Structure 1
Amino acid sequence: MWSVLGSCRHRIAEYVPRVRAYSARLGLGGSSVSPFHRPRTRNFSCSQPAPFHRHKSHSSSMAPAEDKYRLPVNVKATHYAVTISTDLEKLAFSGFVNISLDINEETSALEFNSNGLELGNASVYSDVSQTEQLHSSYTIDPETQRATFKFPDALPASSKAQLKVAFNAPLGSSMTGYYKAAWEEDGHTKHYALTQFEPTDARAAFPCWDEPLLKATFAITMISHVDNVNLSNMPAISEEIYEPGSNVAPEMGKLLESLPAEHKWKITRFQTTPPMSSYIVAYACGPFVHLEQTVVMPLSGKTVPLRIYGTPDVIHQAAFALDVAARVLPIYETVFDVEYPLPKLDTLVVWAMENWGLITGRTTALLLDPTRADIHAKKLVAMTQSHEVAHMWFGNITTMRWWDNLYLNEETKMGEVIIMSEYCSRLLGIFPEWRPNSEFISDHLQSALALDAKLSSHPIEVECPDANHINQIFDALSYSKAASVLRMLCDYVGEEKFLKGVSLYLKKNLYGNTVTNDLFEGISTATGVDTVKLMDNWIKKIGFPVIKVTETPNGIHVRQDRFIESGAADPKENETIWNVPLSILTAGPNGQVSIDKTAILEEREKDVTLDTNQTFKLNAGTVGVYRVLYTPERLAKIAAEASKENSILTLEDRMGILYDVTALSKAGLAKLSDTLTVIDIWSKEKEYLVWASVSDTLWSLMVVFWEDPQIVEILRSFIAFLFVPIVKRLGYEYSPDEPTDVTQLRTLAISSALGGKDQDVIDELKSRFSHYMETGDASKIPPDLQSSIFVAAVRYGGRAEYEAVVKIQEKPETPTARLTAMGVTQDQSLLDQTFSYILTKSRDQDIVYFFRGMQSNMMARRQLATFFKANYYTLLKRFEGNFTLNSLVSLSFAGLSTRKDYEDVEAFFRDKDNSKYRMALAQTLEGIRTRIAYIERSSDDLAAWLNKWEKRSKL
């Protein structure tokens, strides 16, 4: 029932092991100071109100450490009336907020979140005294991003009050808070503005109690130039052009009078939201246009308008994403058995965020030209949109209490999971040909296991007291491991009961906040299984087990130990005992297959009775979040069975077998040659996803052993040996009527053969680009081959091809045409030009693609690490406010694999404040150590197998 998870922000999105392999086969190989450190100044306070107060000081609060980043609970905000004016010429915003408060304890001070705003005078009105008082002093703490305003008279306990604060700030460019974005029209740069508040950036747009537990209602009013469109979570209830002298409220009048008189301004008021967390509040202002559909909801019978907004230059590419939203929204209502509560659902093509009623998504994730888009682009758009629509329930109606339970919001994986599942695909016609349940294994289960196999991993439920920690947990553990663990649970208890439990969880916690046990109690109620106990260690402990299988006279003996990618760990790292659903597949004497889903390993080890004379396999369907280690003899028998034309082992089984033996060899629990033997046995395989697993495996070896020329060249030959016959069989021409698997297999085979340096493939791809350069006709560059053709042109061409690709990069026909090709050049002067382009011309959202291209280029790999170090502070300042920094740290050093590399990287970061990327750095350093050990342990074994294969292939 589960499918591919699209990163909610595509924030990480970039699960490095799979990305490296993909980049490598296209290209050349297998591939502190705080962010812009600001000195702290002393705390200050003012006895008299000042017009505006800028956050430049540091509070000397002596609050307990555990409370340092959490607001006091002496008051509760219940409603915000937020008015925002946006000036897209001055690139600034201003406004005021009127916040309704319940006073839980008597207090003369109000403490709330604010970050980077100039705050005006604060006043508070008490319903007891029925008087309004101005603040008498204030303190600002940039570290905790809090402002404290003190008032002359205390507000009584159990009373109500209203706090008013004015504010202003420039529109930033960091893609956080309320920020600006640019687009080109007729050679002119134009701007629009939008919000991105998750996890802790609503405070950068207006003063608020910015924690997910502190839900309130929001009434947004926007002021803008008359020719702009204003959007927010709820529908607009009125829009009027402001005429000077009009009768408006005093605060509104003061704000309007401060705006440039040469412009016409309009006021847009929006409906009040349901109770919601501040991080999903959203608004946007710009010259947007839209497409529209309506859907009739199955439970309520309401007709809900759906719109997708964008700038005029791209809106024609938004129809597919709108259609996906129209398909999936009613399905969620049916599956969750909870009505969609809002009167509309809009999507704005900008970033990627599940704001309630106003989804935002970057161009690469939501736009495509159906005539120029490849399958990958279509999948990305469909999965992004289904993921964000699922958030309307998970995260928006029901929200985690704090960020340590982030995964409860990211149960939207249930979005793709359920809606893109093969079950619903067949039932409802939602892209059944995509086989999402199978692809989940490569895209998410393996990403999760790769990261969780590190000692520097973290639990799904992880402590994250402040913003520096929160930003780092949007990773493959909070997303992919959480999805994988729930997929395993669903398989164990049964899909129908599982979904019933999810529905019970949502209904019990409508408009509320939850913790882990709330979800599992709902599933326990529906299933009769104590899932709280069953799942506790999967959620709260680091890591996952490897199940070692040895054969006994009466069956098998199974033992669980924590799996570590390096193979070596202190015994104290092996204390966790997981409840492991073994899902044992067995074949009877007559070939009948049965799967025992009741078998569970709840202790360190035990015996299981079965007939070892027949085929058996643990983790049937590869739904379990663990590895399985067989004896070499049993592995050979399973691999042989899997190679049969009508094997009892499914596509998912074969993928799992290969991924397991690859990881086990990396950890030293199996020989690397075992992995290559399995691949060699499967050389007649027909399924695209098995071949994708083969490609991932081989290019991951290229990433590790890239500095051994002999291994690299023979490995390339082996890759070409496997994939060139597929190229010859399928050719280069695509048909709209052919099965999706055929299209994907052709693309994979060509890109892999290109990485294997097959000369015929190189010549074919180069000739297609040459035709384009000579004629301007792109008809010989089908969408699915675009990346391979660009890479071949740059890798084996010169300056003319490079400049042509740069031109395409700057004005692509479709935003989904993301290019890594500029990084694969073998000309040092062009490589230098690419590095310069990264610093001076690349858009912030594109920089990861450039780093991927460089990382895939053996010639550029060490230069990329040097480039990052040389430009560290520039990159730090540029990306200090968002998630990109973690990816840049990981990608910059992803291929390094010597002891000197490790010492150099460790030394470089020794005096840096790594608080914003500490997890990524720890994982990067551990990755280098693991590759060092892998090379030392397996080089001889790998070389021996390859040399033997090379001799055999020449016979």
Structure 2
Amino acid sequence: MGKVYYISKNVGLGLLVLGVSALATIIALSIAYDKEKAKNQGRPGDGAADSTSMPTPPATLFTPKEPWDRYRLPDSLVPVSYNVTLWPRLEPNADGLYIFTGHSAVVFKCVKETDLIIIHSNKLNLTNFHGHLAKLSGLDEVTAPTIQKSWLVVKTEFLVLQLRSRLAVGATYVLYIEFQGELADDLEGFYRSEYTEDGVKKVVATSQMQATYARKTFPCFDEPAMKAVFSVTIIHKRGTVALSNDAADGVIDGMPVKVTTFEPTERMSTYLLAFIVSDFVSIQSNQNNNLLIRIWARKKAIDDRQGDYALNVTGPILQFYERYYNATYPLSKSDQIALPDFNAGAMENWGLVTYRETALLYDPIVSSTGNKERVTTVIAHELAHMWFGNLVTLRWWNDLWLNEGFASYVEYLGADYAEPTWDMKDQIILYDMYKAFAVDALASSHPLSCREEEVNDPAQISEMFNTISYNKGAAVLRMLSEFLTEPVFARGLSVALKFSLPTVCPQAVENTPGIHIPHTVHDIMNRWTLQMGFPVVTIDTRTGSISQKHFLLDPDSVVDRPSQFNYTWFVPIKWMKTGVEQQQYWLLQKTGTIRVTLTTPLFLTCNNDWVLANTNVSGYFRVNYDLENWSRLLSLLNTNHKVIINRAQIIDDAFNLARAKIISTTLALTTTKYLSKEKDYIPWESVLRNLNYYILMFDRTEVYGALQAYLKKQIQPLFEHFRTITANWTRVPSGHTDQYNQINAIGIACSMGVRGCRELIRGWYRQWMETPNHNPIHPNLKSTVYCSAIAFGGTEEWDFAWMKFKNTTVASEASRLRAAMACTKTPWLLNRYLEYTLDPTKIRKQDATSTIQYIAQNVVGLPLAWNFIRARWSYIFQQYGKGSFSFSSLISGITKRFSTEFELQELKKFKEDNLHVGFGSATLALEQAIEKTTANIKWVTENKAQVLKWFTEASK
């Protein structure tokens, strides 16, 4: 077992180089970024309100007067250990409530003189001991002060004990508390999950502590830096099994209950605790140096072998990380469990990782290639945290990106090791970089790392679990790994895990053989972590000049957040000239000169010469060229497209540069003209994602007909290609990404009206309806076929899907059907479906907000979903808005199509009308929705006529 440390703010992440052995490394985040220095010196504009700070400050100013009025714990007490006993009841009491009871004893040390004990507690009924809510005693012959009074503070979620005298500095005390809580179905803290098996209702007691829900389970110092050792005891019903972070130390099978005690944990944060009581069963393996690996799930899921794949890939992924980190897995066992009700995708509880069923279970008959990939990547993400995040932990939530950005990057490495034929490392471009660009190009974006004081209450903490922390974090770390090289990057991580970070001395990476960078990694990474956004790099091949500028999707938007670096980045640029790779160029100022040799600036004198930058798409920036070079690249796409290795990037850059008015919209659209020759998945996916914006903006206008005709013309050769290589849809393409592109080909061909496609879809679905126990549709194609058949069909098709949804025991199948039912074009069916989202017996709470978003993605369903959430905002916010990580996507999902002045005014009125209710973790998403809608209005006004003309001519 290794020692445990949290990341000190002084070092942040910067790690680096063990100089003596030339271990020149900066741990990924080598953002050792002078954070404290920046705070002490102050940033430009400090002291003034920052309207774009992340998260958005509350509407009403709250000035704390007492220590318990603040959301952060005082620094006078430090927890040492907890002894926690919990007894969840899996049957309702006389009042119809599911409850749990328990008691806890926390040992803490006084490090600053104080007469107050402040500890987190939320929604717990505490036992009264002679007029007080806790008992206090001293250890090692220390006499504890008597408690004068005790009370609960609802706003800041504190239990406060006022003492008659002060605690002694250096002394250790024990705080004993008894409590009762509700085992509710709210997916927070210690909660219940329900499912039906063989006609019998089953109840699971399970947990989700991240980010601020441990306090709902037992009173605790609920901040990530407040690490302690936890000794857990679970009292539970006979016939059930209890699980926690560490291995069971003993089980007493008494009458009528069992008592399971667990070995003390490593020193860890409260948000990583997990407790589960269920009648689940497991499969196991001991291949990794006798490490016990178990997959837990419902008995039927295990019997149907839905856990086998997860078990098979967990061992190799753990082996990969042990080598990658150069550190053994820190615990004695690795449990992973699939839960019927779980709000997040998964949670990295140390030693007991919890998952949605769709993220852990794979049915070899029913599930698709995409389902298998999701299982692999989510497992790889969560297991990456076992070291980075759990062993070494962030101090406060403002630096969440260090946890999540890192895991989001290395999940691709772990998945690639487990499934080397999938080319997983390339997919980070689609799933992380492009997703981050879309948000980070807004004036309301925020830096990866913000100031501690910007993140206080639980809603602000939840708001940090966003695209910037996860996806931009992954993209920036990938860029760092590329210019350092992966081995150097990984060695830095190894150093971080083996030493207390404050004792590791960052050193100049320039001394590492083969690594040549113009500044310390610390200085380079500060530019990418302490200021929001990213640059567009413009190369003029006529002069060799190169420049950078802060890229904004709406060039007229105003950036209120100041930057100490004046929005200039140190940009590593890999580039080639006419197919020949050149030496990496570093752009360090606003402008520079790119050179072919040390003394010769770049000039393109031959008509056939061309330049391509960011060739491996590792740089977190967009690229623009002079028009002559754009013309050469477009010509090359049409004549020999495979020469351009980063076609997806060329397309994505062009479309977004056009939206930012840097190049013309027609130039961007011209990048798609070669598509009838394209067979690869990633370029096609890039095109479809960008054209989806055009569909969203124009599918309620006359432009859509011309767009549909053009896309039909371009997709038809791909549709025919897959018809041929699959022998008329009877075989599966051999390549992993080819299977994805087959899905694109069928889905777009059907929606654009390619001859024979809709008949094919209807035939498959009708055949299934006629033989309900035999589904003829290949798992890879189910999502597309279900959606298209329901869209082209009526009530009969919808009701059949609903029946199958209610009866399936495979979570991935239920997820597909749930999304597909939102595709119907029948308004009353959509309205009925919206009402179902309010009934947990029909749509699980974990799925309610995503189901509403699915309906809003349907052009017919958009106004229905918008009216629905406006009419029920207070209820929806109360149920999901105060801490749900996914809640913000509800606002962004519903407003994607908003592009008229009327919709903008409706959105602003919605904000105004609900200020008294609040928006919680969707606060920033609402501001960004207003910003995006404003930009959409301008873009549509300026581009509608020329887009209609272009599609009309190009479709001929």
Structure 1 and Structure 2 fold alike (TM over 0.5): yes
**Matching residue within 104, 110, 115 for 1:103:** 110
Give the C-alpha shift of residue 519 in structure 1.
Answer: 11
1:86 aligned partner? 88
**1:498–1:523 CA contact under 8 A, matched in 2:** no
The alignment partner of 1:285 has SS state of strand
Q: 1:791 to 1:127 in 2, by over 3 A?
A: closer
Deviations 1:899-925 (A, max 9, x none): 111111111111422343211111111
C-alpha distance in structure 2 between counterparts of 1:105 and 1:891, whole Å: 48
Residue identity opposite 2:542 in structure 1:
T
**Matching residue within 253, 274, 287 for 1:282:** 274
**Matching residue within 627, 640, 644 for 1:649:** 644
Residue identity opposite 2:784 in structure 1:
S
Deviations 1:162-185 (A, max 9, x none): 111111101122211111100102
**1:902–1:929 CA contact under 8 A, matched in 2:** yes
The alignment partner of 2:383 has SS state of helix
Deviations 1:285-324 (A, max 9, x none): 111111111123xxxxx41010011121322311111212
**1:793–1:802 CA contact under 8 A, matched in 2:** no
Give the C-alpha shift of residue 848 in structure 1.
Answer: 3.8
**Matching residue within 472, 478, 481 for 1:487:** 478
2:431 aligned partner? 443
**Matching residue within 662, 671, 675 for 1:669:** 662
Q: 1:521 to 1:839 in 2, by over 3 A?
A: farther
Deviations 1:569-589 (A, max 9, x none): 3487793111111212223xx
Q: Which has the higher contact order (CA 8 A, sep 6+)?
A: 1
**2:577–2:611 CA contact under 8 A, matched in 1:** yes
**1:501–1:523 CA contact under 8 A, matched in 2:** no
Worse-matched range after superposition: 447-456 or 748-757: 748-757
2:734 aligned partner? 738
**Matching residue within 344, 355, 371 for 2:349:** 355
Q: Does 1:166 align with 2:214?
A: no
2:674 aligned partner? 681
**1:716–1:756 CA contact under 8 A, matched in 2:** yes
Q: Does 1:756 align with 2:761?
A: no
1:601 aligned partner? 587
**1:242–1:265 CA contact under 8 A, matched in 2:** yes
Residue identity opposite 2:337 in structure 1:
L
The alignment partner of 1:192 has SS state of strand
**Matching residue within 790, 795, 800 for 1:799:** 795
Match runs of 1:210-221 below 5 Å: 210-221=222-233
C-alpha distance in structure 1 between counterparts of 2:144 and 2:207, whole Å: 32
Match runs of 1:687-766 below 5 Å: 687-708=680-701, 710-731=702-723, 733=729, 735=731, 738-766=734-762
**Matching residue within 328, 332, 345 for 2:334:** 345
2:387 aligned partner? 393
C-alpha distance in structure 2 between counterparts of 1:525 and 1:384, whole Å: 37
C-alpha distance in structure 2 between counterparts of 1:615 and 1:505, whole Å: 43
1:928 aligned partner? 933
C-alpha distance in structure 2 between counterparts of 1:373 and 1:757, whole Å: 28
C-alpha distance in structure 2 between counterparts of 1:667 and 1:563, whole Å: 8
1:504 aligned partner? 495
C-alpha distance in structure 1 between counterparts of 2:466 and 2:490, whole Å: 25
**1:505–1:519 CA contact under 8 A, matched in 2:** no
Q: Does 1:416 align with 2:411?
A: yes
The alignment partner of 2:299 has SS state of coil
Match runs of 1:243-642 below 5 Å: 264-296=256-288, 302-315=289-302, 316-350=305-339, 351=342, 352-410=346-404, 411-421=406-416, 425=417, 430-462=418-450, 463-509=454-500, 530-553=520-543, 556-570=544-558, 575-587=566-578, 593-597=580-584, 599-608=585-594, 609-612=601-604, 613=606, 614-642=609-637
**2:317–2:415 CA contact under 8 A, matched in 1:** no
**Matching residue within 651, 654, 658 for 1:658:** 651
Deviations 1:738-768 (A, max 9, x none): 2223322211100111221334211110111
Q: 1:734 to 1:208 in 2, by over 3 A?
A: farther
2:7 aligned partner? none
Residue identity opposite 1:100 in structure 2:
V
Residue identity opposite 1:607 in structure 2:
T
The alignment partner of 1:498 has SS state of helix
**1:501–1:522 CA contact under 8 A, matched in 2:** no
Residue identity opposite 1:340 in structure 2:
Y
1:247 aligned partner? none
Deviations 1:612-654 (A, max 9, x none): 242211111111111111233311212333455474421xx11
Q: 1:813 to 1:238 in 2, by over 3 A?
A: closer
**2:142–2:172 CA contact under 8 A, matched in 1:** no
Give the C-alpha shift of residue 272 in structure 1.
Answer: 0.6
**1:85–1:94 CA contact under 8 A, matched in 2:** yes
1:837 aligned partner? 836
Give the C-alpha shift of residue 417 in structure 1.
Answer: 3.0
Give the C-alpha shift of residue 705 in structure 1.
Answer: 1.8
**1:123–1:132 CA contact under 8 A, matched in 2:** no
Q: 1:359 to 1:867 in 2, by over 3 A?
A: same
2:953 aligned partner? 948
C-alpha distance in structure 2 between counterparts of 1:291 and 1:647, whole Å: 46
Deviations 1:99-141 (A, max 9, x none): 1111113333211111111122311111365556763311221
1:146 aligned partner? 158
**2:292–2:334 CA contact under 8 A, matched in 1:** yes
C-alpha distance in structure 2 between counterparts of 1:900 and 1:746, whole Å: 39
C-alpha distance in structure 2 between counterparts of 1:691 and 1:228, whole Å: 50
1:775 aligned partner? 771
1:246 aligned partner? none
C-alpha distance in structure 1 between counterparts of 2:536 and 2:183, whole Å: 50
C-alpha distance in structure 1 between counterparts of 2:511 and 2:926, whole Å: 42
Worse-matched range after superposition: 217-226 or 888-897: 888-897
1:251 aligned partner? none
Give the C-alpha shift of residue 432 in structure 1.
Answer: 2.2
Give the C-alpha shift of residue 686 in structure 1.
Answer: 2.0
2:923 aligned partner? 918
Give the C-alpha shift of residue 606 in structure 1.
Answer: 1.3
Give the C-alpha shift of residue 523 in structure 1.
Answer: 7.4
1:232 aligned partner? 244
Deviations 1:749-805 (A, max 9, x none): 001112213342111101111111112254421111111221222111111111001
Q: 1:378 to 1:521 in 2, by over 3 A?
A: farther
The alignment partner of 1:786 has SS state of helix
The alignment partner of 1:483 has SS state of helix
Number of residue pairs matched by the alignment: 846
Residue identity opposite 1:327 in structure 2:
P
The alignment partner of 2:869 has SS state of helix
Residue identity opposite 1:387 in structure 2:
H
Match runs of 1:809-848 below 5 Å: 809-812=805-808, 814-817=810-813, 818=815, 819-840=818-839, 841-848=842-849
**1:497–1:523 CA contact under 8 A, matched in 2:** no
Deviations 1:538-558 (A, max 9, x none): 1111111111222334xx211
Please, which runs of 5 or more residues in structure 1 have no aligned partner? 1-39, 41-58, 244-263, 297-301
The alignment partner of 1:474 has SS state of coil
Please, which runs of 5 or more residues in structure 2 have no aligned partner? 1-59, 93-97, 128-132, 595-600
C-alpha distance in structure 2 between counterparts of 1:670 and 1:393, whole Å: 45
**2:380–2:412 CA contact under 8 A, matched in 1:** no
Deviations 1:4-63 (A, max 9, x none): xxxxxxxxxxxxxxxxxxxxxxxxxxxxxxxxxxxx9xxxxxxxxxxxxxxxxxx99614
